[in-house]
Structure 1
Amino acid sequence: MEWFTNADYWLSRLVFQRGLAVLYGVAFVSSALQFKALIGERGLLPVPRFVASVPFRRAPSIFQWHYSDPFFAVVAWTGAALSAAVAAGAADLVPLWAAMPMWFTLWALYLSIVNVGQTWYAFMWEMLLLEAGFLAIFLGNDEVAPPVLVLGLLIWLLFRLEFGAGLIKLRGDRCWRDLTCLYYHHETQPMPGPLSWFFHHLPRPVHRAEVAANHLAQLGAPLALFAPQPVAGWAAAFIVVTQLWLVASGNFAWLNWLAILLAVSAIDDVRAAHLLPLPKQPPAFGATPAWYAGLVLAVTALVAVLSYWPVRNLFSRRQRMNVSFNPLHLVNTYGAFGSVSRVRYEVVIEGTDEADLTDETQWKEYEFKGKPGDRRRLPPQVAPYHLRLDWLMWFAALSPAYAAEWFVALLVRLLDNDAATLRLLRRNPFPSARPTFLRARLYAYRFTTWPELRRTGTWWHRTLVQDYLPPVTSAETTEPRSPATSRMPH
């Protein structure tokens, strides 16, 4: 079965698998440290309430059979420990029949978390990790050379990720077509990073070149992935460069790093050996077991059948972004930023410990770990870690409809000084006594200019737009009003 494998992609497989295991670890740790406040038994969107109304066939998960906070913690930390072992090479030290269950366990555990995570896990990088993680089960280890069909499925995944994102932009906001979207995007993206201020202040011709390069990376390079080497390798390398640019300019959890790993899988060892300080000689591969070849053929056929729905979506005038067509999150459709906000809105939560509200009431702000708040704070580097509450607060600022399920519950937890919820924040202004009232206000944020930064030392300038939620106590359940100037994400 010489046609079935290709030893020229051994380094690429090694980098992809070890890197994927690291990202699995980040995802599991992110879940372990944040779940209690978000989806725990007393969380904002509790898992027990969710599984009571959603059957197993729609959301397969081990938590459908049993849920408790300690059990979830065991699952998440077990996933993190297994990820660390695989990243260290454990799956290459055991027989193939033992390595595949390791990868399957990682996939099944994280699938169980995502399928009960509700809106906190409704991000494209969740389904992308699951789809890539499923294919990794069948990619083999040091016993066999990389199977050509699975390498092809990884390229097919990268193609859908990039090409889908490119098409959604061309069909969406006009600024992508006139090359002006990055006049705004670095400032209005969900989670700016420490270099985003500097990217925003690049000359406008550079911004236009950024958009043009993005179109080439998402609409041209993906087509070249199916060409023979070295064309496919250089196309993948170009995608890697553009993804590193995105890593530098913002925080998108592990999305960009996973895209890089997928692109690496399309680079053969001849080119990879020049770029990576890795062993130059592959191990002595054995013959491909018949049972393994049969599994690879079956998975390839499955992906071919399931590809019907993403392909139909790609060529639809009403293309949808980031949709799973099955509860296992296999063969999904992807896309990002079909429209770009021109103004950045932020919800600022404030509290007071005064017994009565007057015009002289002193309000103190809660600070989040990642999202903009303090105007003097440079946006932090967060990715590949994922701050789920911070991300959802960005959506909440675009429209209260995105926070209808959890925002009031968040305020109730803050009024109670709930320890698990406060661990999601950077600073609690009421460490010794609970606040008596909370309110939320909507601000328009913009990056300061160079003269403003030198004069004031602030990275952000903000202007009050309106109240988002009037003062409330723990006994009240007022819903936030919809800002008249809100922008809806696409």
Structure 2
Amino acid sequence: MEWFTADGYWLSRLVFQRSLAAVYLVAFVAAALQFRALIGSRGMLPVPDLLRRTSWRDAPGLFRLHYSDRFFALAAWTGAAVSVALLAGLDARLPLGAAMVLWAVPWVLYLSIVQVGQVWYGFGWESLLLETGFLAVFLGNADTAAPVLVLWLLRWLLFRVEFGAGLIKIRGDECWRKLTCLEFHHETQPMPGPLSWFFHRLPRPVHRVEVAANHVTQLVVPFLLFTPQPVASAAAGLMVVTQLWLVLSGNFAWLNWLTIVLALAAVDWSPLTGPAPAQPDAPLWYEVVVIAVTALVLGLSYRPARNLVSRRQVMNRSFDPLHLVNTYGAFGSISRVRLEVVVEGTDEAVIHEGTRWLEYGFRGKPGDPRRLPRQFAPYHLRLDWMMWFAALSPAYARSWFGPFVERLLRGDRDTLRLLRHDPFPGGPPAHIRARVFRYRFTDLRELRETGCWWDRTYVRDFMRPVARPVPLRPPPREGDDRR
């Protein structure tokens, strides 16, 4: 079928596939390095406990067959290795069917990880990576030109990402409609980056232009993805520019980068590259598979599409257990005040008014007022992100904060590896407490006088001091008179 393939999109497919492999690599490395403390057998929310109270139907995946920390690590590092192979172009050297199987491997592995990740994997970019990765399985390789249907499905996904985010803003916080949200957002976003202070200090008229440009890019430009070239390429280019602006202004894991990857797949590079290299016709079995997958995705798109037009629109929701077609969106409401949970410990056995408390340092979230926020995206610091949610409401931390503190009191190595600074290198503290502070960016005068990027003020207690458990004394042996 001549209509089935688009010869001019060979470079678009190549750029998309190599970029997606890079995102996969970051995701798998993050999973491998952080899982033991978060969801390992002795973690804050152990996977074995989840598996006992849920079923295959709730969350299918490889770990339903077997789970151990060693097996999880094997899955994560295997995903990273396959991602490196895809990044190096191994799929292009394989027959079409084998290449599809190779692309299916990271999708199955990451799906299995997300299914047991619980709150640590409840972010929209997890589903976005899975949905993108599923479509990538059917994009083919050099054995055939890129299938038109899959290219359109990628645009449909990009449309839902951008348009859904735009709608949730317009329907949500009134500051989006008044063009004032970015007077707060650069300061109160989950994890500011090294340039966030400078973005926050931009003049108010510039912030209004930022918001207005965001509305145009998310509410108008997505429709242009379905127009003829070069208009569709120009629309994708505008999205790339907007996403790069977000990359510079904050840390949103791989959300922005994956959106850029999707936008690049919509660009027609043929005016720059000239005629496409000759490619074989698609085999019949491949055409049948792609058409079937397209029908499946369109059928599953009904509920996400209905959600877009609903007044009760929800964001970042999966409508099927395999995360094949999802709904997206972010920041339907904006915090006006930044609150942070500061975790402190002391090695004093008895707490009194003069007790000296030492602060635990986190890698990404604000802590020491003198420390300029760092750039971590596309890497995802899951604990740091959840600490931001905990400051918004203790309900977000109900399931994991207690176990987190218990592991600090035990000096758990895996948990301490998630932190930037352990103030008790000689052994765990006797007590730990958590307090909520209000953080705000300093102005230029304050920065010059104090050297602090942040000013912070105590607000309330988050958790009163908790003591280290006293080890149980072993029972006396026979003939031992000690009591």
TM bucket by the smaller chain? Answer: over 0.9
Q: Is the 8 A contact 2:8 2:275 kept in 1?
A: no
- CA apart distance, 1:283: 4.0
Partner in structure 1 of residue 230 of structure 2:
230
2:309 matched to 1:315? yes
1:324 pairs with one of 318, 333, 346: 318
Partner in structure 2 of residue 241 of structure 1:
241
* SS in structure 2 of the partner of residue 439 of structure 1: strand
Partner in structure 2 of residue 487 of structure 1:
none
2:367 matched to 1:373? yes
* SS in structure 2 of the partner of residue 443 of structure 1: strand
Q: Is the 8 A contact 2:103 2:136 kept in 1?
A: yes
- CA apart distance, 1:244: 0.3
* SS in structure 2 of the partner of residue 462 of structure 1: strand
TM-score, scaled to structure 2: 0.96
* SS in structure 2 of the partner of residue 115 of structure 1: helix
> Following the alignment from structure 1 to structure 2, what is the Cα–Cα distance between the partners of residues 182 and 336?
14
> Following the alignment from structure 1 to structure 2, what is the Cα–Cα distance between the partners of residues 465 and 218?
37
Partner in structure 2 of residue 480 of structure 1:
none
Aligned partner of 1:305: which letter? G
1:414-450 Cα shifts (integer Å, max 9, x gaps): 0001000000000000011210000000000000000
Report 1:118-267 matches (<5 A): 118-267=118-267
2:429 matched to 1:435? yes
- CA apart distance, 1:474: 3.5
Partner in structure 2 of residue 305 of structure 1:
299
Q: Is the 8 A contact 1:186 1:197 kept in 2?
A: yes
Q: Is the 8 A contact 1:236 1:263 kept in 2?
A: yes
Report 1:338-349 matches (<5 A): 338-349=332-343
Aligned partner of 2:37: which letter? A
Partner in structure 2 of residue 356 of structure 1:
350
* SS in structure 2 of the partner of residue 442 of structure 1: strand
Q: Is the 8 A contact 2:341 2:436 kept in 1?
A: yes
1:348-394 Cα shifts (integer Å, max 9, x gaps): 00000011101010000000000000111110000000000000000
> Following the alignment from structure 1 to structure 2, what is the Cα–Cα distance between the partners of residues 266 and 363?
54
Aligned partner of 2:452: which letter? T
Q: Is the 8 A contact 1:110 1:130 kept in 2?
A: yes
Aligned partner of 1:165: which letter? A
2:108 matched to 1:114? no
Q: Is the 8 A contact 1:79 1:106 kept in 2?
A: yes
> Following the alignment from structure 2 to structure 1, what is the Cα–Cα distance between the partners of residues 194 and 14?
31
Identity %: 66
* SS in structure 2 of the partner of residue 225 of structure 1: helix
- CA apart distance, 1:173: 0.1
Aligned partner of 1:409: which letter? P
Q: Is the 8 A contact 1:142 1:283 kept in 2?
A: no
2:408 pairs with one of 414, 435, 448: 414
* SS in structure 2 of the partner of residue 321 of structure 1: coil
> Following the alignment from structure 1 to structure 2, what is the Cα–Cα distance between the partners of residues 190 and 270?
40
Q: How many residues are matched? A: 470
- CA apart distance, 1:269: 1.4
Q: Is the 8 A contact 1:79 1:110 kept in 2?
A: yes
> Following the alignment from structure 2 to structure 1, what is the Cα–Cα distance between the partners of residues 423 and 440?
25
> Following the alignment from structure 1 to structure 2, what is the Cα–Cα distance between the partners of residues 378 and 347?
18
1:402 pairs with one of 376, 396, 400: 396
> Following the alignment from structure 1 to structure 2, what is the Cα–Cα distance between the partners of residues 56 and 428?
39
- CA apart distance, 1:251: 0.4
> Following the alignment from structure 1 to structure 2, what is the Cα–Cα distance between the partners of residues 281 and 57?
48
Partner in structure 1 of residue 475 of structure 2:
none
> Following the alignment from structure 2 to structure 1, what is the Cα–Cα distance between the partners of residues 125 and 468?
35
- CA apart distance, 1:123: 0.3
Partner in structure 1 of residue 103 of structure 2:
103
> Following the alignment from structure 2 to structure 1, what is the Cα–Cα distance between the partners of residues 179 and 269?
36
Aligned partner of 2:168: which letter? I
Report 1:33-44 matches (<5 A): 33-44=33-44
1:11-45 Cα shifts (integer Å, max 9, x gaps): 11111100000100100000000000000000000
> Following the alignment from structure 2 to structure 1, what is the Cα–Cα distance between the partners of residues 321 and 452?
46
- CA apart distance, 1:270: 2.9
- CA apart distance, 1:282: 4.2
1:433-468 Cα shifts (integer Å, max 9, x gaps): 210000000000000000001111110000000111
1:86-134 Cα shifts (integer Å, max 9, x gaps): 0110011111111000111110000000000000000000000000000
Aligned partner of 2:357: which letter? W
Aligned partner of 2:47: which letter? V
- CA apart distance, 1:281: 6.2
Q: Is the 8 A contact 2:270 2:276 kept in 1?
A: no
Q: Structure 2: any 5+ residue segments left out of the alignment?
A: 471-483
Q: Is the 8 A contact 1:120 1:388 kept in 2?
A: yes
> Following the alignment from structure 1 to structure 2, what is the Cα–Cα distance between the partners of residues 219 and 473?
52
> Following the alignment from structure 2 to structure 1, what is the Cα–Cα distance between the partners of residues 390 and 66?
31
Q: Structure 1: any 5+ residue segments left out of the alignment?
A: 274-278, 477-490
* SS in structure 2 of the partner of residue 386 of structure 1: coil
- CA apart distance, 1:280: 5.9
Q: Is the 8 A contact 2:24 2:80 kept in 1?
A: yes
> Following the alignment from structure 1 to structure 2, what is the Cα–Cα distance between the partners of residues 463 and 264?
44
1:286-325 Cα shifts (integer Å, max 9, x gaps): 1100000001000100011001000110111100010000
Q: Is the 8 A contact 1:224 1:232 kept in 2?
A: yes
> Following the alignment from structure 2 to structure 1, what is the Cα–Cα distance between the partners of residues 264 and 210?
22
1:218-242 Cα shifts (integer Å, max 9, x gaps): 0011011111111111011000000
Partner in structure 2 of residue 485 of structure 1:
none
1:290 pairs with one of 284, 293, 297: 284
> Following the alignment from structure 1 to structure 2, what is the Cα–Cα distance between the partners of residues 222 and 448?
37
Q: Is the 8 A contact 1:367 1:427 kept in 2?
A: yes
